[in-house]
Structure 1
Amino acid sequence: MRRLRILITFLFLFVNLYSSIAKEGSSTEKKTTRELPPINFRNKADDLFMEQNYNDAIETYQLALEKEIPNKAPVLKKIALSYSALHKTQESLKYIEEYLHKEYNPNILADSGFDTIRETEAFDIIEKRYIPQINIWTFIYLYVALIGFYLTVIIHFNKKIDSVAKILISAFIFTHSIFIIHIFLFLTNYQFNFPNSYLISTGFSFLYGPLLYFYFKRITQQYTFKVKDLIHLIPTLLIFIYLIPKYLLPISEKLEILINEASGYTSENSTEFITIVVLKVISLLTYGVFIRKIYLKSQLDSNLSDENKIWKKNIYRIHFLYLICYCIYGFLSLNNISVGFFFNMQIFAMAMMILYLGYSANAQPDVFSGVLNAKNALFFKYQKSGLTDSLSKELKNNLIRLFDIDKIYKENHINLEMVATNLQTTRHNASQVINEHFNMNFNELINWYRIREAKEILDNNIAKKMNMIDIAYEVGYNNKVTFNKAFKKETLLTPSQYQKKIAPNS
């Protein structure tokens, strides 16, 4: 019995000891397992890359992409560099583009590690697709767009232009400028640096026609707007409603879309592009017909000055050039035909419009109100004028004395402000008196007096002792070219031709 107790006790102690050892072993094994450092694929791949073992480095980097850190851009760059070292151009470019999707930094393309594939055509395409670059043409586009924004402000706040007309023409110039600045960003690849420029000009696609149409209507017919005219803004309102969700996208998503589009339109964007082009062509053609009718009717109006008609004609011609170029561009785009020439021609037409309007704003700002150069006194510029009939006649007599006796027109730098000062009245009143009593504008009046004096010099044989340039200076011109042009406009002959014509009668 005693031996049995000893045996049971021994067995119990043995079981407890074995259990304790087993638990300790299991705990040690778990602890050892937990303390084993994980394999760092990124570091291992970097070591392989430094050893120029590029194939193994690529495999290890790809494992790192699958299992490690969320910031994958540096790893994608290393894979691209590894493929470049192996002279595998397409594979390298694939990972370059993946890198740019994750972290847009085109400076990656300047890395010397890509020198092995830099001279390839495929790499050159990628550089042109993503690296910002400005040439003389894109610089001109930027310059014209900035001029357009400047003109928008200047014209909009010019109190001498009809209030409705200036809103329409300034909005028209602003629309042009938005399109040109957007095209500049696209052509120079700066759109990737400014993702919020995504579709910035698309919302204005259907404003071009209505703005010019109603502007022509205002300056030729003194048209007063009605509530029903708002129907012309419905296409623009609808496209803005459609685009608002796209405008509100995060910058990262806009950048992703722009980079995707750099390689060609997706099916969704292709459909969107085709729809907008077709609708814009329809809009331009429709309003082109409306504008042409108004323009042709205005050219028959005998109450408008030649200067005014020429200005409208030039605006109409530039508009027509843009219309034709855009329609051809749209047709070629829809049929997947190269559009290079006509793409640039439509930009050229828009640039011409802005530059011509800029020139007009500087040289003859009154034309922006259109009817302000009418030959009769019944146009709306002076409807609210405070100039009485008696004061108007007095200013007229003083003006005649100023020109006939004082011959103020001989001043080289004469302007309306100078004449108004001499008449002791406002610039506005001086302009009104000239228009109402002489049926011409200020510049026409100055030229009429100068050419009359030049003809008197030629008729009296005084010219035999004077050169043509001396005659030009004598009557107030700064150069012979301007003198010849003004003389021919008045007499249909150049000064030399006129002199020869009168010579037999001398």
Structure 2
Amino acid sequence: MNETISIGVFDVIIFLGVIQGIFLSFMLLKKARHENQSKLLQGLLLLFLSLTILEELLNNTGYIVQVLPLSDFSEPMNFTFGPLFYLYCKEVINHDKSPKKWLHLLPAVFWLLYMTFYFIQPDALKYNSYLETKHPEWEYMNVDRIYPDDPLGLRNFVNEMTLIHFIVYIILSLSLIIRKIRVLKQSIVFPKNEVLRMLRNTMLHFLIIVLIFTGTKFYFGMDSDIGSYFIATYIAFMFFITSYQVMQRSSYFDTPHLFPELSFAKYQRSSLNEADKERILSKLRIILEEESYFKNNLVSLSGLAKSIHENKHHVSQVINEKYEKNFFELIAWYRVREASQILIGDKERKLTIEEIADRVGYNSKSSFNSAFKRYTGHTPSEFRQLNKDS
């Protein structure tokens, strides 16, 4: 086997994109445990995109020869991108909770099972497949196989099926977005709703990917893999932009931090027993839910602990263990819940977003918007409009 390794500038860009994508997907999937399913769908989409461009990176650099059992491992994921984006649109637009929605992923499951015929083949066959797409001029290996790797000949048309499947779901997603824009009586080109603008922009990115795919296949031939390299680079840049937007909207910069806190074994030597934890939890519920301590715009962990006459570290432990949040996340959650009730209330329709932010304890509209969107998936203005139209 020829184990030549070649690394270019764009390979480095793709590698950094893979790292960014996997990190973003990890954070989204972690959030999905406590929030709506849109985080789960978004996390899975980013994860599968990351793994797909990782395989392209392995193929283009030649590292795939070092891990031939992983050859074409991401091919079934091609049939997840369209459905996951469509389901994400349904979730954020219509709040679809139907368990049947996961049936859209059946083609991906079928393809994964069908790929078993290829996965069980000897490494020599997978090496030859790599040469066909990347180095057809190299010497091929002799292969003895007992079972066919593509018994129905379906993989000969995987590019065409992937493209058709993806376009069908893009059309379905676009129809959802257009219907919602018409319901809200907004412009299709420049919708005022931030969620709809985000979906529209994501749609444009996917259309660009389709154009890259079809353009390269038409110019270089269906057997050429150069389009996948261009697409992987483009997706890497998408991840970079997403990471930048996450940092821009993060509430991390609204609170004092210097270096990350090390939380492992944080409460290993704590003297708190379960009775103490329940006692502190009861005090927290009273001061937060009955006295609305979170509305104070100068809230702090030490101030909260002092108000309920408890040790600050014990209060922090109870918040982490019982609420599964840190102090600032807990305060933001209560503030967003209170703001949601204000926005829904008919008597409060005339309040500005700045006034509502001030009522629930925020000093700035931007911090309020970031926290509100993090927990609801919408900005306060979008949330008000959606509830007004419903």
Classify the TM-score, shorter chain.
0.5 to 0.7
The residue aligned with 2:314 is none
Q: Distance in 1 between matches of 2:213 and 2:111?
A: 19
Pick aligned residue for 1:232 from 99, 104, 122: 104
1:296 aligned onto 2:173 = no
The residue aligned with 2:120 is 248
What displacement does 1:397 show? 7.2
Q: How does 1:13-412 map to 2 (within 5 A)?
A: 100=1, 104=2, 106=3, 131-158=4-31, 162-227=35-100, 229-259=101-131, 262-264=134-136, 274-300=156-182, 302=184, 306-334=193-221, 340=226, 342-364=227-249
Change (3 A) 1:335 1:316: closer
The residue aligned with 1:84 is none
Contact 1:148 1:354 in 2 (8 A): yes
Contact 2:17 2:239 in 1 (8 A): yes
The residue aligned with 1:115 is none
Q: Distance in 2 between matches of 1:346 and 1:318?
A: 11
Change (3 A) 1:161 1:358: farther
Change (3 A) 1:448 1:299: same
TM-score by length of 1: 0.47
What displacement does 1:173 show? 0.4
Match for 2:338: what amino acid?
Answer: V
What displacement does 1:281 show? 0.9
Contact 1:392 1:433 in 2 (8 A): no
Change (3 A) 1:259 1:289: closer
Contact 1:209 1:283 in 2 (8 A): yes
Change (3 A) 1:293 1:449: closer
Look up the SS of the partner of 1:194 in the other structure.
helix
What residue ranges of structure 2 are gaps of 5+ in the alignment?
141-148, 186-190, 252-283, 300-325, 344-350, 368-390
Q: Which moved more, 1:322-331 or 1:255-264?
A: 255-264
Q: Distance in 2 between matches of 1:365 and 1:300?
A: 31
Q: Distance in 2 between matches of 1:238 and 1:422?
A: 45
Look up the SS of the partner of 2:23 in the other structure.
helix
- Pairs aligned (count): 279
The residue aligned with 1:431 is 336
What displacement does 1:256 show? 4.6
Q: Distance in 2 between matches of 1:283 and 1:143?
A: 29
Across the aligned residues of Structure 1 and Structure 2, the Cα RMSD in angstroms comes to 4.2
What displacement does 1:443 show? 8.8
What displacement does 1:449 show? 9.7
Q: Distance in 2 between matches of 1:449 and 1:154?
A: 22
Q: Distance in 2 between matches of 1:165 and 1:449?
A: 22
What displacement does 1:335 show? 5.8
Q: Distance in 2 between matches of 1:284 and 1:169?
A: 17
Change (3 A) 1:392 1:309: farther
Contact 1:434 1:440 in 2 (8 A): no
Q: Distance in 2 between matches of 1:186 and 1:449?
A: 43
Contact 2:60 2:134 in 1 (8 A): no
Match for 1:321: what amino acid?
Answer: I
What displacement does 1:446 show? 5.2
Match for 2:335: what amino acid?
Answer: A
Q: Distance in 2 between matches of 1:322 and 1:424?
A: 37
Match for 1:430: what amino acid?
Answer: R
What displacement does 1:363 show? 3.6
Identity of aligned residues (%): 13
What displacement does 1:309 show? 3.6
The residue aligned with 1:372 is none
Q: Distance in 1 between matches of 2:125 and 2:20?
A: 32
Match for 2:57: what amino acid?
Answer: F
Match for 2:202: what amino acid?
Answer: I
Change (3 A) 1:439 1:258: same
Larger Rg: 1
Change (3 A) 1:276 1:365: farther
Q: Distance in 2 between matches of 1:332 and 1:136?
A: 24
Look up the SS of the partner of 2:16 in the other structure.
helix
What displacement does 1:257 show? 4.2
Contact 2:17 2:236 in 1 (8 A): yes
Q: Distance in 2 between matches of 1:339 and 1:283?
A: 19
Deviations 1:98-139 (CA, angstroms, capped at 9, x unpaired) = xx3xxx4x4xxxxxxxxxxxxxxxxxxxxxxxx211121101
Change (3 A) 1:156 1:182: same
Change (3 A) 1:132 1:397: closer
Match for 2:162: what amino acid?
Answer: K
The residue aligned with 2:188 is none
The residue aligned with 1:371 is none
What displacement does 1:447 show? 5.2
TM-score by length of 2: 0.59
Q: Distance in 2 between matches of 1:423 and 1:180?
A: 36
Change (3 A) 1:309 1:392: farther
What displacement does 1:237 show? 2.0
Change (3 A) 1:439 1:243: farther
Contact 1:305 1:440 in 2 (8 A): no
Q: Distance in 2 between matches of 1:217 and 1:387?
A: 35
Change (3 A) 1:199 1:323: same
